[in-house]
Amino acid sequence: MRMYGHKDPFPEGTQIFRDTTASAAPVGQFYKGIYHTLIMAPVSSNTVAKCVAGISDSLATNVFAQAGKCRVPCIYFACDTAPELRSMAPKGMVDVYPRHIDLENVERLKAFEATLVVDSVVALEEAIMEREENV
């Protein structure tokens, strides 16, 4: 099993885009058909809320909207997926208790077409590998 982290190399052929043009360059690529999957990980409760409300005012929310419009499947690793979580903070592990609205928004996100929401790094890796096999 491969694991891609900030220190690990990405698989050959992976393209990474830095938003330097108000989202125009990376977002426009959806209409050229060059993407087969959008992977968003990790994703904050703020970004989840914006995505389910249809707000696309950042690179993250805009690529999610365009992926949906172009029918590009999305694998989404939302941070707030359970009523109680342990999460890494700058000074170590902390207990996190997502709000009811955060959990509702994750459920709404799961209902989006071609959107798979995962709740762990292991599930994310498995979803990526399965998507790679099916493309």
Residue 89 inside a domain? The answer is: yes
Q: Which residues contact 63 (CB under 8 A, 6 or more apart)?
A: 23, 26, 27, 30, 38, 40
**Range(s) of the domain holding residue 93:** 24-133
What CATH number is given to the structural domain containing 67? Answer: 3.40.50.1950
CA nearest to 71, candidates 114, 118, 116? 114
Structural domain contains residue 5: no
Q: Is 124 within the bounds of a domain?
A: yes
Q: Would residue 6 count as lying in a domain? A: no
**14 domain-assigned:** no
Place of tokens 């939302």: 78
- Is 17 within a domain? no
Domain count, the chain: 1
pTM of the model: 0.78
Answer yes or no: are the C-beta atoms of 36 and 72 closer than 8 Å.
yes
Per-residue pLDDT of the chain (135 residues), as tens digits, is: 334 444 555 667 776 655 566 556 567 788 888 888 999 999 999 999 999 999 998 889 999 999 999 999 999 999 888 999 888 788 888 999 999 999 999 999 999 999 999 998 899 999 999 998 887
Report yes or no on 71 lying in a domain.
yes
Is position 64 within any domain? yes
Model confidence pLDDT, tens digit, residues 100-126: 999 999 999 999 999 999 998 899 999
